[in-house]
Structure 1
Amino acid sequence: MVIISDATEEDLGEIYRIELESFDNPYPLSLLKAYLYLASVYVVAKENGQVVGYAIGIIQHRVRGHVVSIATAQGYRKKGIGSALLRSLEEAYKQRGCTYSYLEVRVDNEEAIRFYRKNGYLVTYTRKNYYGRGKHAFVMVKPLINKNLE
């Protein structure tokens, strides 16, 4: 059974391991640690006490939630953990009054784009050179409130 909870300093080693196996240009451990104190939301997914995924989010201007990073350990992918982590960020954003969530994803990262689309995100525009020269990102957005219900 996977449990999602707030990240702690004790989780950083496992978070960093997941970061290294998940990204071509991983965040340094020092930045992952800084986010513990700077991020609005920093959660981990644990199974039997072991970190199997994490997500970092920041609330900007009290209306939008930015998905900074999300990753699941290789052996735990495609089991719903990433979606649960993303929902956890979105719920925290909604509780704090955000109207939408957004993120950047490399235009050639088809697996991640499919994941975000499955979770309700839509490509809104391309941010040129976001990941370096010639490495563009799609900005994907998901509304968090339904205007028809207000």
Structure 2
Amino acid sequence: MVIITDATEADLGQIFEIETESFDDPYPYSLLRAYLFLANKLYLVAKEGEKIIGYIIGIIQYGYRGHIVSIAVEPAYRKKGIGTKLLSEIEERFKLNGAKYSYLEVNINNLPAISFYRENGYLIMYMRRNYYGRGKHAFVMIKNLYYKFLD
């Protein structure tokens, strides 16, 4: 059974492993640790027993917008609903903290992630050039947390 809970410092080793398995340019351990203090109840892990199989980090900006800083699921556990559970939980926490919408950046070439976010109600709003470095662009995707849009 998978549970979603607040991340702790003891979780950081497993979170860092998932981070390095998931991204070409992973966040350093020190930044993942710093977010434990910056994210204030918006740094969550998905656990199966004692094993961490995914995580998500969010922050609230300007009191009304939730920013998904990072989300990743261990490769062997992908496409099993773990990412959706993490995303749903953080969106609920965003709402409880007054956020009106949630947004994130995703590499324009990461088609599986773009599809995942679209399936979860996110819309591409615009492109940020060179977001991940020279020639590596990101889409900014946004989800209104109070209204559902029809396709």
Q: TM-score range by the shorter chain?
A: over 0.9
Q: What is the CA deviation profile of residues 55-104 of structure 1, one whole-angstrom value per residue up to 9, with x for unaligned ones?
A: 00000001000000000001100000000001111000000111000000
- In structure 1, the residue matched to 2:65 is 64
Q: Does 1:75 align with 2:71?
A: no
- In structure 1, the residue matched to 2:34 is 34
> What percentage of aligned pairs have identical amino acids?
64
In structure 1, the gaps of 5 or more residues are none
Count residues in correspondence. 147
- Distance, in Å, in 2 between the alignment partners of 1:31 and 1:3 is 24
Q: Does 1:119 align with 2:130?
A: no
Runs (4+) off by over 4 Å: none
RMSD: 0.9
- Distance, in Å, in 2 between the alignment partners of 1:104 and 1:146 is 21
Q: Please report the TM-score for the alignment, with normalisation by the length of structure 2.
A: 0.96
- In structure 1, the residue matched to 2:100 is 99
Q: Please report the TM-score for the alignment, with normalisation by the length of structure 1.
A: 0.96
- Distance, in Å, in 2 between the alignment partners of 1:48 and 1:94 is 28
Q: What is the CA deviation profile of residues 30-66 of structure 1, one whole-angstrom value per residue up to 9, with x for unaligned ones?
A: 1000000011400000001110000000000010000
In structure 2, the gaps of 5 or more residues are none
Could you tell me which amino acid in structure 2 is paired with residue 142 of structure 1?
K
Q: Does 1:10 align with 2:10?
A: yes
